[in-house]
Amino acid sequence: MAYVFLEHRSSLEHITASRPASSAMSVNPEQPTRILAIERELDARDWCGFERMQAPPVERSLLTAIHPESHVAEIERFCAAGGGHIDDDTVVSPGSWEAALHAAGAGVRMVDLLLDGYASSAFCSVRPPGHHAMPTQAMGFCIFNNIAIAAKYAVEVRGLERVMIFDWDVHHANSTNEVFHASNNVLFVSIHQSPLFPGTGPADDVGEGAGVGYTVNLPVRAGSGDDVWISLVEHVVVPLAFAFEPQLVLVSAGYDAHLEDPMADCNVTDAGFSAMAHAIAATCRELAAPVGAMLEGGYALGTLARCVATTLEAMSTVPDRNGGAAAPLARDARHRLAEWWPQLTAGSSARSW
């Protein structure tokens, strides 16, 4: 099976250059240069064995499965009228409409390629990012929630019963959290810095109704580095995956938890992202679940590009999963989550984590 890299030139036509004079940062960090930096790095690495494909625009009906038609139409009109600031962070230009359609379409096409058996792994390098885009409110650089649209398509159109979304962007995915809050078809797991924008995602937000236990928030303090992040992946995220047995794993792949990223205060290194990507890729292989990643944040250009390449390398090699002992934060999370996931109770599983 192939490894597929989805992209589209419209990602470069979403122009966010200006910010209000009142803003703390004079230049919006969510720029087309992010995509170009990734392209340059991957080109130098022969695309890590990935096949490049063009992302189609999303069908309107799939967009409106998450975002009401009135909101979608308002975004379309605003872009066509020349665009401007939706808030301090979130800016659109005339080209943003096509970019947003292709960004969401990348995720849907990725799901088809993975479920139809064409690809075992895929990565969508598109913008605008998506995980903050609430159903009726564009925010946090995000217009539409690309990964939520993809996951909902996988469940409602492709008929999957178990989709796992793992979000390793340093910011909490307030929108993804909300969209699947009451769903037990989608297990949403997020590691994020707290406190930090957008301020959501406490550990005690575990979902609601039938979805209780299927929202897993793993907040970490500023300054958290490889030890904390990798431990949470190996001792919480991976065991959850084995307990849930997803038919598809989607990763909201942001790289702003990196030590060199200007937007947050975590200290993950290239090696940390490599370890997390290897752990997820190895788990998906063991579970025979295809895995697709969508670009979210990551604003230090060289760092972003290197870490995307690292992710692709992990997805396209046969990795080993051999983690260390659980850090205290991971042990606490396992204890807390055992109420819904008894497999996480130490000693109750034949597997050793």
- Shortest CB 189 distance to Zn ion, Å: 16
Q: How many whole angstroms separate alpha carbon 21 and alpha carbon 18?
A: 9
Options 8, 14, 132, 172, the catalytic residue: 132
The CA-based angle 110-51-116, given to 5 degrees, is: 40
- Which is closer to Zn ion, CB of 32 or CB of 49? 32
Q: Is 132 a catalytic residue?
A: yes
CA distances from 192 to 30, 110, 288 (A): 19, 25, 27
- Closest-CB residue for Zn ion? 297
- Shortest CB 296 distance to Zn ion, Å: 6
| Positions in the binding site for Zn ion (CB under 5 A) | 169, 171, 254, 256, 297
The DSSP annotation for 321-352 comes to: ----PPPHHHHHHHHHHTTT-GGGSTTSSSS-
- Which is closer to Zn ion, CB of 99 or CB of 253? 253
- Shortest CB 170 distance to Zn ion, Å: 5
The CA-based angle 100-104-109, given to 5 degrees, is: 140
Buried b (16+ CB within 10 A) or exposed e, 31-70: bbebbebbbebbeeeebbebeebebbbbbeebbbbbbeee
Pairing of strands 163-167, 119-124: unpaired
Determine the angle formed by the axes of helices 33-44 and 301-315, rounding to 10 degrees: 50
- Shortest CB 128 distance to Zn ion, Å: 12
- Which is closer to Zn ion, CB of 201 or CB of 297? 297
Q: How many whole angstroms separate alpha carbon 128 and alpha carbon 341?
A: 35
- Which is closer to Zn ion, CB of 154 or CB of 257? 257
Q: What Rg, from alpha-carbon coordinates, does the chain have?
A: 19
- Which is closer to Zn ion, CB of 130 or CB of 254? 254
- Shortest CB 169 distance to Zn ion, Å: 4
| Coil, strand or helix at 10 | helix
What token pair was written down for 282? 């190895």
Give the catalytic positions in this structure: 132
